[in-house]
Amino acid sequence: MKTIMIDPGHGGTDPGAVYNGNEEKTFNLLTALIVRDFLLKNYNVNILMTRTGNETLSLTERSNFANRNNPDFYLSIHHNAGGGTGFESYVYNGSVPSQTITYQRIIHDEVISAINTPYKVIDRGKKRANFHVLRETNMSSLLLEILFIDNPKDIALMNNATFRNTVGVAIARSVAKALGLPAKIVNEKELFKVIAGSFTKRENAEDRVNELKRKGMNSFIDTVVVLDRTYYRVQTGAFAERVNAENQVASLKKMGIEAFIFVRVDDNPKPPVPSPTDPPKPTQPPNPPGIQYSILGTSVLHAEQLDDFARTINRDASLLGEFYLFYGNLYGIRGDVAYSQALHETNYFRFTGQVKPDQNNYAGIGTTGPGNDGASFKTPEEGVLAHIQHLYAYASTNPIPQGQSLVDPRFSLVTRGSAKNWTDLNGKWAVPGTTYGQSILSVFNRNIKNAIKVMDEQKIVLNDTLGKLK
The catalytically annotated residue of 145, 304, 322, 382 is 145
Alpha helices in 290-358 (DSSP H): 303-313, 321-331, 335-346
Whole-number Cα distances in Å, 143 to 171, 173, 306: 12, 16, 29
Under 8 Å between Cβ of 39 and 176? yes
How far apart are alpha carbons 52 and 258 in whole angstroms? 33
Element (H, E) at 126: strand 123-129
Under 8 Å between Cβ of 35 and 80? no
DSSP 8-state code for residue 282:
P
- In degrees, rounded to 5, the angle at the alpha carbon of residue 63 between the alpha carbons of residues 16 and 154 is 30
Element (H, E) at 32: helix 24-42
What size, in residues, is the chain?
470
Residue type, 397: T
Whole-number Cα distances in Å, 238 to 6, 204, 220, 242: 28, 22, 12, 9
Whole-number Cα distances in Å, 285 to 94, 161, 438: 68, 42, 12
Alpha helices in 91-241 (DSSP H): 98-119, 132-135, 152-158, 161-179, 202-214
Active site residue 55: no
Question: Which of 320, 305, 310, 339 is CA-nearest to residue 381?
Answer: 320
Q: Which residues contact residue 285 at a Cβ distance below 8 angstroms, ignoring those fewer than 6 apart?
A: none
**Burial call 326-344: b when 16+ CB within 10 Å, e when fewer:** bbbebbbbbbbbbbbbbbb
Q: What is the DSSP string of 128-158?
A: EE--HHHHS-SS-EEEEEEEETTSHHHHHHH
How far apart are alpha carbons 67 and 61 in whole angstroms? 10
How far apart are alpha carbons 242 and 245 in whole angstroms? 5
Query: Which residues are marked as active site?
Result: 145
